[in-house]
Amino acid sequence: MQNKLLLLRKLFPWLTSHKSALFFSFLVVAYVTPFVVLRQNAHFTINDNLDWITSWIVLVKSGKVFALTGTINQMLGELPRSCLPSGFNVITWLYLILPPFRAYLINLLLVHLTAFIGMYLLLTHYVLPANHQRWLAWASAASFATLPFYTVYGLSIAGQPLLFYAMLNAYYDRKITVSIFIIVIFALYSSLPLVGVFILVALGLAALYDYWLHRRLRPKFWGAIALLTGSYVITEIWLIYNAFFSSGFLSSREEINRLILGQAQDWSGVQALIVDNLVNGQYHAVSLHKYILGIAVPLALLTGWRHKREYKGILLLLTLALSISIFYGFRYSEFFISAVAGNSFLNSFQIQRFHWLHPLLWYTIFALCLAVIANIRYIGKILAVLLITLQLGFLFGNNIEYDLVLKKQTGISVIENGWLYENISYGEFFADSLFQKIDNYIGRPKEDYRVASIGIYPAITQYHGFYTLDGRLNIYPLAYKHAFRQIMAKELDKNQFWQQYFDYWGITCYLFPAELEYYEVRKSYQLKLNHLELDSQAFKKLGGEYILSAAEITNYQESGLEFLQHFSEGWSVWEIYLYRVR
């Protein structure tokens, strides 16, 4: 009994001194708990998320994870290995050792945990170093960690605070061994074209400015930048091989034409893009900072002029955020898009992605604003708590599971970018038992035939091991795109939207019937295709035998198809009509 009392006496002061850490850690755990509890009944973004994960699944099944050359034939014909993800990426390793959903879930948990720890370390060491500011650092870290990250991008956004913590360590010559480890892990768990290039540019400019300002070289800081660069060269060797060493490879991205796609904006359109990006951010790099910008920033600027360190920090970071938004808008100006239209690299590469630094900037600004506001006499801490509560409440409301509960109970939804969430769970999307029925019906080894889909994502069939002519990748051979186009050439002639989307964007190599208005056709839509015209010979030339259509094709015989079977289950959002090419 005395031992228990002694333990409680020691534990109570520790709990008291760490109450902020425990409370905000609990909030982060509460944020991810629905995904752990619901598992495959949980809901996730489909576009650019669930429809991307099969690239890892296909790679792992191919047995060519670490091969530099060769082809993989489960999707998009004979696809060069170098078009699929890096074999030196942590997400690839997760799918290599775990079943698909477990890999997805573990990746999600790692991303949010790293965001929490990384932001706390950055804030406490370099932004809010005072002991009395620790609770604000924990609050800001929890806010950053409860953003609805696109976890398929790994640490590309969520890991930025941890990376910049390591870079500042190198700048000030601190904790070099730990920082080296962090830098290498970041390169292994993020994307060079999505964010790495822009981080390297930002770090390079910072290093040059520092040298110009102080006329002093900082070898460990420059070395840290070189380490990140070298680590990316190794981890992205497949991408580099495609770009510089793969003979005869011409990417589908060569035909991207932003002018025809209508992306070019006049001056008023550019202004609108700048304002929208500054206020709302961009959904791939979601920051949900409108209350920070609308309440915390003005309040801090009006009351914090005496706190010169925090005040200067807020102004500097606001300037950077605004500059990024201005560049984002300028990237879509008629002048810029017209000027680079003839340059394959500048036309296809998303050079505006400096905005992927916005979440880091906005939550660092939030931390600085809280530090200023908390010092307002008499009511400062109360205001800071109210702002933290407002922001965290808004962030939890943008967790799809909490939003669904809120909407069910009150009819209110606070979720931003609601169009991204289609209220289909992971299990409903991939529909294991439904596609097992189709596999059983065909009754042949999947590698012996090829399929294509209409009205469902090819990611679903790839997930279940089918070999598909269709698919979605950032890079695949242009020659294959042209060959695939022949299958639906008449359909594209009848629908200008799909024709321009396929011909001048081309990342999405799907069958696009002219009668469809969207990628997917749910069972509840009761949609029928009455005028479909496919080239069955072009389909067979690529090795295709079966079409899985989510919409009934009433004139299937005119396209040289044979109807085989209709598959449906009461719980499923899909129903599949199976056709074979005659």
CA–chain centroid gap for 372, Å, is 33
Q: What b/e sequence results for 398-410 when a residue is b if at least 16 CB atoms lie within 10 Å of its CB, and e otherwise?
A: bbbbbbbebbeee
When mean pLDDT is compared across 15-24, 159-168, 350-359, 518-527, the lowest value belongs to 15-24
Does residue 205 register a pLDDT over 60? yes
C-alpha to C-alpha distance for 572 and 342, rounded to whole angstroms: 47
Q: What is the pLDDT of residue 204?
A: 95
Q: What is the pLDDT of residue 248?
A: 67
Q: What b/e sequence results for 540-567 when a residue is b if at least 16 CB atoms lie within 10 Å of its CB, and e otherwise?
A: eebebbbbbbbbbbeebeebbbeeeeeb
* Averaged pLDDT for residues 400-413: 88
The pTM score is 0.93
Q: What is the pLDDT of residue 1?
A: 55
Q: What is the pLDDT of residue 576?
A: 96
- Domain-by-domain residue ranges, the chain? 1-41+85-249, 255-397+405-423, 434-581
pLDDT tens for 317-329 read 999 999 999 999 9
| Local structure of residue 85 (DSSP, 8 states) | P
Q: What is the pLDDT of residue 398?
A: 93
Q: Are 310 and 374 in contact (CB under 8 A)?
A: no
Tokens representing 510? 């799907």
Q: What is the pLDDT of residue 3?
A: 59
Residue type, 15: L
| Local structure of residue 251 (DSSP, 8 states) | B
Does residue 407 register a pLDDT over 60? yes
Does residue 134 register a pLDDT over 90? yes
pLDDT tens for 508-540 read 999 999 999 888 899 988 899 999 999 999 999
pLDDT tens for 463-490 read 999 999 999 998 999 999 999 999 999 9
pLDDT tens for 190-203 read 999 999 999 999 99
SS3 content of the chain, % helix, strand, coil (to 5): 65, 10, 30
* Averaged pLDDT for residues 50-54: 92
Does residue 12 register a pLDDT over 50? no
Closest of 127, 11, 77, 93 to residue 364, by C-alpha: 127
Between residues 324 and 378, the one the model is more confident about = 324
Does residue 408 register a pLDDT over 80? yes
Mean pLDDT, rounded, of the chain:
91
Contacts 24+ apart (CB under 8 A), 71-75: 73/447, 73/467, 74/462, 74/465, 74/467, 74/468, 75/458, 75/462, 75/467, 75/468, 75/470, 75/471, 75/473
Does residue 156 register a pLDDT over 70? yes
| 15: confidence class by pLDDT, cuts 50, 70, 90 | very low
| 11: confidence class by pLDDT, cuts 50, 70, 90 | very low
Q: What is the pLDDT of residue 8?
A: 43
Q: What is the pLDDT of residue 7?
A: 52
| 17: confidence class by pLDDT, cuts 50, 70, 90 | low
When mean pLDDT is compared across 290-304, 311-325, 354-368, 425-439, the lowest value belongs to 290-304
Residue with tokens 């929208």: 276
Does residue 9 register a pLDDT over 60? no
pLDDT tens for 70-86 read 899 999 988 999 999 99
Q: What is the pLDDT of residue 278?
A: 94
Does residue 409 register a pLDDT over 90? no
Highest mean pLDDT among 84-98, 245-259, 301-315: 84-98
Q: Are 164 and 200 in contact (CB under 8 A)?
A: no
* Averaged pLDDT for residues 135-162: 96
Write out 122-142 in H/E/C secondary structure: HHHHHHCCCHHHHHHHHHHHH
Q: What is the pLDDT of residue 532?
A: 94
* Averaged pLDDT for residues 351-369: 95
pLDDT above 90 as % of the chain: 76
When mean pLDDT is compared across 47-61, 238-252, 430-444, 487-501, the lowest value belongs to 238-252
Side-chain half-sphere CA neighbours of 138 within 13 A: 17
Q: What is the pLDDT of residue 2?
A: 56
Q: What is the number of other CB atoms lying within 10 angstroms of the CB of residue 112?
A: 23
Does residue 383 register a pLDDT over 90? yes
